[in-house]
Amino acid sequence: MKTFVVLSDSHGRRGVAEKLAPLFAENDVIVHLGDGSSDLREVFSQYPEKTYLFCGNCDFAYGAEEGVLEAEQVRIFCCHGHKYGVKSGLERLAARAAELDCDVALYGHTHKAGSERVNGVLCINPGSAGAYADPSYCYLVVHRGKVTETVVPLSLE
C-alpha cells in the first residue's frame, strides 16, 4: 500500500506546508501539481526521495512540466492541467494519460476538487490549497492496483 498527499494551487500560501507537515512525514508520496510548487521547496529539501513538484501556469520553472509515477501496479499521470484545457473538459487530459498507459490523472488549475472517470482514466483534482472558497487537498491510497481518493477540507486559519 502506498499513500499520497496531493495538493495544487497553493499560490504562495507557504503556511499550508507547515500545517500539513505531519502528513508529509507519515505518507509515502507528496505531490504538488503546480501554481505554488515552490511553496514546497523546504518539503522537497527534507524529503527529496518522495516529493514530486510540477509547474503550473503561474510557476516560473520550479518543478517538472508533467510526469508519471508508479505505485502498486498503477501508473499515475501528473500535471497542472492548463495545457490540456481542463477548465473546458477532461477529454484531452484523459487522452494524454491513456497515451502514457496511465490509469489515473492528477491535475489542478481549476481550483475545484473532484474526481471522475473519463474514457477509462480516473481524473482527480485535489482542489486548491490556497485562499479560495473551499481549500482542500487529496489523500490518495493505492493498494494492489486499486485507487481510493479522498478530498480533505483544509482549514487555513
Predicted confidence band of residue 130 (pLDDT cuts 50, 70, 90): confident
**83-117 pLDDT tens trace:** 999 999 999 999 999 999 999 999 999 999 999 99
pLDDT value at position 36? 95
Q: Distance between terminal CA atoms of the chain?
A: 32
Q: For the domain 2-153, what is the CATH superfamily, name and number?
A: Metallo-dependent phosphatases (3.60.21.10)
pTM: 0.97
Q: Does the pLDDT of residue 60 top 90, yes or no? A: no
Helix (H, G, I), strand (E, B) or coil at 49: coil
Q: Which residues, in sequence order, are bridge partners of residue 141?
A: 3, 148
pLDDT of 136 reads: 96
The total number of residues written for the chain in this structure: 157
Amino acid at 110: T
Most confident of 9-13, 123-127, 131-135: 123-127
